[in-house]
Amino acid sequence: MSRRTVTAAALVLACFLPVAGCGGDGPRRGPVGPPSARGETAAPAGGSPFWVDPESDAARQVRAYEAGGRAEDAKVLRRIADRPVADWPAGDDPVPEITRAVRGAAAQDRTAVFVAYNIPHRDCGMYSAGGAHDAGAYRAWIDSFAAALGESAAIVVLEPDAVPHLVDGCTPAGYHDERYGLLAEAVDRLKRQPRTRVYLDAGNPAWIDDPGRLVEPLRRAGVARADGFALNVSNFQTTDRVREFGAALSGLLGGAHFAVDTSRNGDGPLPGDRADAWCNPPGRALGVPPTDRTGDGLVDAYLWIKRPGDSDGTCRGGPAAGTWWPEYALGLARRARG
């Protein structure tokens, strides 16, 4: 995701945003936005406890637009730049980026939001292929990731697509036991940090449409020791649909809480049953702004986990997965309803 310090190869979100052929609309696959005309419930008004990165791609783009005389575009893009988005630390060394973020957040008494995305055999070899070289490398990476969080307030969304790809068969069976073990160990390591909350990714209802199929995989991955699960990462399913699915999955998991990615779901998914509906779909909009005031006892937060404006991959004229794409970002922001 071409976040500032992440290389395209390490970028996130391929199948999760993205992989045609990985199931449903493709993994990931669709972010969120403000309440839509479809009657979605808006998050209660009132601020966000999450940190806004002053050096995000969107913030730097705003400054570039202002310097170039594009004042109106700069104003529109502030709908992204002035809101908190998740950080996806690099797969080689996550420490510098995490350290910068937690220090910035601590100075403002805010919570930094991160995505840990480096599991071996990531994304089934698709747009966001890559990840740690082997299990040992992943353990070392997670350990350094967790240590860098220290005692700061943080949320970590753990390994988008990793569990759903086990469920849909995209990840070869020979890797399953290792992945379950690594995810469970990652939960335990991250939870050693006193103020870190961890949410295991569980895909979206257009991908694994039967919540019952996710129950045992999430248990094996350590969800009982996490703070819950995450839904709709990099996808576009409506908030109401995701909440309904999440409530059903929660009931099967003994009342587990969850977080929802609302970064690009303001207008829901691309109409029609299209295999590539998750990949840079046109006409989408920002969703409900990040908040922990969800009005739902099971939903801990609406988060912008997928960074609005980062490409899903080289489809529909987009750059490499995770690369900042200002034109797409402007479209999302212009169509936002709030």
Alpha carbon of residue 100 to chain centroid: 20
- Summarize pLDDT for 177-231 with one digit per residue, the tens: 999 999 999 999 999 999 999 999 999 999 999 999 999 999 999 999 999 999 9
Residue tagged active-site, from 57, 261, 300, 312: 312
DSSP code at position 313: S
What are the CA-CA distances from residue 317 to residues 20, 77, 204, 278, 325 (Å)? Answer: 16, 21, 25, 14, 10
Whole-number pLDDT of residue 227: 98
Residue tagged active-site, from 161, 168, 261, 267: 161
- Average pLDDT for residues 142-153, to the nearest whole number? 98
Whole-number pLDDT of residue 123: 76
- Summarize pLDDT for 258-288 with one digit per residue, the tens: 999 999 999 999 998 677 899 999 999 999 9
36: pLDDT strictly greater than 70: no
Whole-number pLDDT of residue 273: 66
57: pLDDT strictly greater than 60: yes
Residue 296: active-site member = no
User: Whole-number mean pLDDT of the chain?
Assistant: 87
Which range (16-25, 246-255, 292-301, 305-314) has the least confidence?
16-25
Q: Is 294 helix (H, G, I), strand (E, B) or coil?
A: coil
Whole-number pLDDT of residue 22: 38
Residue tagged active-site, from 53, 57, 123, 168: 123
Measured CA to CA, the distance from residue 73 to residue 63 in angstroms comes to 11
Tokens of 215: 């129950």
Phi, psi of 97 (to 5 degrees): -70, -40
Residue 161: active-site member = yes
- Average pLDDT for residues 38-61, to the nearest whole number? 74
Whole-number pLDDT of residue 38: 33
- Summarize pLDDT for 307-322 with one digit per residue, the tens: 999 999 999 999 999 9
Q: Give Cβ neighbours of residue 307 (< 8 Å, ≥ 6 apart).
A: 1, 3, 56, 57, 85, 86, 88, 263
Q: Is 110 helix (H, G, I), strand (E, B) or coil?
A: coil
- Summarize pLDDT for 102-129 with one digit per residue, the tens: 999 999 999 999 999 999 998 776 667 7
Residue 261: active-site member = no
Tokens of 169: 């068969």
